[in-house]
Structure 1
Amino acid sequence: MSAIKKAIITDAGFASRYLPITKTIPKAMIPIGAKPVMQLCVEECVEAGIEEIIIVATPNTKSKEIYDDYFHNRANNVKILLDKQGKSGRFEAVEKVLNFPKITVIEQDANLPYGNGSPIVSAKQYVENEEAFVVLYSDDLILGEGDVKTLIEDYEKAPGAKAVIAAQEMPEEVWHKYGMVALKANGTLSHIVEKPKTPDLAPSNLTSYGRYLLTPEVFEYLVPSNTGLDGELWTVDAITKLAEHGDVVVAKSKGKWITTGDPKNYFLAHLEYVLNYSDYGDDVRKIVEASK
């Protein structure tokens, strides 16, 4: 049995590129196929044996209320109606959600600086006594075999590792968009070069994204006073500090990483998911082919 039992899934931001829909619902509740992005992240954790998930929602919005309703509301009125209509089988999808392991929804601490590290700090009390824990950014969707399982497996093969980060090989034309991984001589993380302006500044073709396994030591560096670029609190800055004091394993994804951080990439992710993982993929494929 793995010692890694907890995961943090972050969705703390206003997602302004998705307005107006995100003024009403959090971005991770937008569907991929028939499931919201957040559920796909939760399922990735469940498949890896995670027993408790902390979802960090945007403060001063209805996000926490919406996530709590989605994962905890038993919707008995819906079940009763479907039973009367002879459509009880349709409720099985709801029961699957209700039977997930423990899910706790919190709001990000509004007093923390802006940055992708702040949701993790907000959940510190839930994970600081663990041997290690997993972090998922809900912007990042993994198709195929989930990264959480790979992160845990690679951590268990590397006694004493400070962290494990997921990485994927990417073509040169997109290196300028992402954090590119620099490796030490032993193959562990040296540092991450954020959005290199030219290909020669990229230390490898490996891109880092929002799938991490972290030890509580990260909280020594992930503190509000340690802001970096643009005055933000960056998770990768803290991970780089961990790499200065020990091994941070770089785990190559066994799935396919796709970002859903903007409407264009969300649509492409949705299309690929439907084509390959839905029972109506062939119908969509015919429409795409006919439009050429």
Structure 2
Amino acid sequence: MRRPVRKAIFPVGGLGTRFLPATKAMPKEMLPVVDKPLIQYAVEEAKAAGIEEFIFVTGRGKAAIENHFDREYELEAVLQSRGKHKELEDLSSLLLEAGSVTYTRQQEPLGLGHAVWCARNLIGDEPFAVLLADDLVKSDQPCLKQMVEHYEDVGGHLVAVMDVPREHTNRYGILDVVEEKGPLARARTLIEKPDPAEAPSTLSIIGRYILDPSVFKELDKKQRGAGGEIQLTDALAKTLDDVTFHGLRFEGTRFDCGSKAGFLEATIAFALEREDLGVRMRDILNKYV
């Protein structure tokens, strides 16, 4: 029987430069889609997948994330005195079990691989998940939960994947696929941001991973890749002689909330499905489109 996926890493140390000046004093992961910050969507997805330990790899100026998942006694007292029971329930749902949350610092923004490496001692020798809050997935069954169910069958490294236009392959990690079976694609290797003319496929990794801890042996070497950063995909590729690698074509829609257009699209999509906002949102869209 495979070891369960109990721990998840949330790399939240990035600078968020594409959203300046909004992110000058606020972490990009705290940008709200409707009324819930991106990082909360990611944590809720992890909880739904059975994650028990939540590891945040932070940086300077990220205290708002820690505060968001902590108690706020003064605010709770005010809401209680005003009879705001629904709001109190919403705040209570944010809390994670005592002792299940850990924060560690990434002193320099040296890439996703480096951020994951910073959590190595907290992971130990067991499989783990990585969730990037920038990638927001809207689905009936949470994306990571879909992955956990398939991981029980295949083990090794498992990533969420989707097809992208060939001209965009130089923005993603791309799989070199050996065979496909249902929603699973087995890959011989993966290439970080290949030129469209050289990309082995258009099947790209999005920000959801379940990884074998053997990847830390490669990350320990701190080898720089594309953009001069320590790339997680490069380290994964070097483990594939010993570890199987699959991509899962997940069910749902992924929004690239690391871009302004993707963030706005996500806000519209989530607002349209809200009972309290859907009708009004359609009226607004009809007004401007």
- Would the alpha carbon gap of residues 2 and 243 (structure 1) be closer, same or farther in structure 2, given more than 3 Å must change? closer
Query: What does 1:154-173 correspond to in 2, within 5 Å?
Result: 154-158=150-154, 161-172=155-166
Separation in 1, partners of 2:97, 2:278: 27
CA contact (8 A) 1:166 1:208 kept: yes
Moved more, 168-177 or 117-126: 168-177
- Would the alpha carbon gap of residues 278 and 228 (structure 1) be closer, same or farther in structure 2, given more than 3 Å must change? farther
- Would the alpha carbon gap of residues 276 and 182 (structure 1) be closer, same or farther in structure 2, given more than 3 Å must change? farther
Query: What does 1:14-29 correspond to in 2, within 5 Å?
Result: 14-29=15-30
User: Aligned AA for 1:117?
Assistant: G
% same residue: 30
What is the deviation of 1:240?
1.0
* 275, 279, 284: which one aligns with 1:282: 279
What is the deviation of 1:218?
0.5
1:103 aligns with 2:63: no
Separation in 2, partners of 1:28, 1:6: 20
- Would the alpha carbon gap of residues 83 and 177 (structure 1) be closer, same or farther in structure 2, given more than 3 Å must change? same
- Would the alpha carbon gap of residues 242 and 162 (structure 1) be closer, same or farther in structure 2, given more than 3 Å must change? farther
What is the deviation of 1:196?
4.1
1:180 aligns with 2:174: yes
Separation in 2, partners of 1:109, 1:33: 31
* 111, 114, 117: which one aligns with 2:110: 114
Match of 1:23, SS? coil
- Would the alpha carbon gap of residues 280 and 15 (structure 1) be closer, same or farther in structure 2, given more than 3 Å must change? same
What is the deviation of 1:136?
0.9
Provide the residue aligned with 2:56 in structure 1: 55
Provide the residue aligned with 1:124 in structure 2: 120
- Write out per-residue CA displacement over residues 245-268 of structure 1, whole angstroms, 9 at most, x where no aligned residue: 331121111222111112222112
CA contact (8 A) 1:260 1:269 kept: yes
CA contact (8 A) 2:192 2:233 kept: no
What is the deviation of 1:24?
0.7
Separation in 1, partners of 2:110, 2:10: 17
Provide the residue aligned with 1:142 in structure 2: 137
Separation in 1, partners of 2:47, 2:97: 7
Match of 1:152, SS? helix
Q: Per residue, is there more helix in 1 or in 2?
A: 1
CA contact (8 A) 2:169 2:202 kept: yes
Separation in 1, partners of 2:228, 2:168: 25
- Write out per-residue CA displacement over residues 114-141 of structure 1, whole angstroms, 9 at most, x where no aligned residue: 11111111111111232x0001112111
CA contact (8 A) 1:6 1:133 kept: yes
Provide the residue aligned with 1:151 in structure 2: 147
What is the deviation of 1:172?
4.3
Provide the residue aligned with 1:90 in structure 2: 87
Taking structure 1 as the reference length, what is the TM-score of the superposition? 0.88
Separation in 1, partners of 2:287, 2:222: 56
- Would the alpha carbon gap of residues 100 and 147 (structure 1) be closer, same or farther in structure 2, given more than 3 Å must change? farther
- Would the alpha carbon gap of residues 75 and 230 (structure 1) be closer, same or farther in structure 2, given more than 3 Å must change? closer
Provide the residue aligned with 1:254 in structure 2: 251
Count of residues in correspondence between the two structures: 282
Provide the residue aligned with 1:7 in structure 2: 8
Provide the residue aligned with 1:81 in structure 2: 78
Match of 1:138, SS? coil
Separation in 2, partners of 1:20, 1:98: 29
What is the deviation of 1:100?
5.3
What is the deviation of 1:2?
6.9
| Structure 1 unaligned residues grouped into runs of 5+ | none
What is the deviation of 1:225?
3.1
Moved more, 234-243 or 76-85: 76-85
Taking structure 2 as the reference length, what is the TM-score of the superposition? 0.89
CA contact (8 A) 2:173 2:233 kept: no
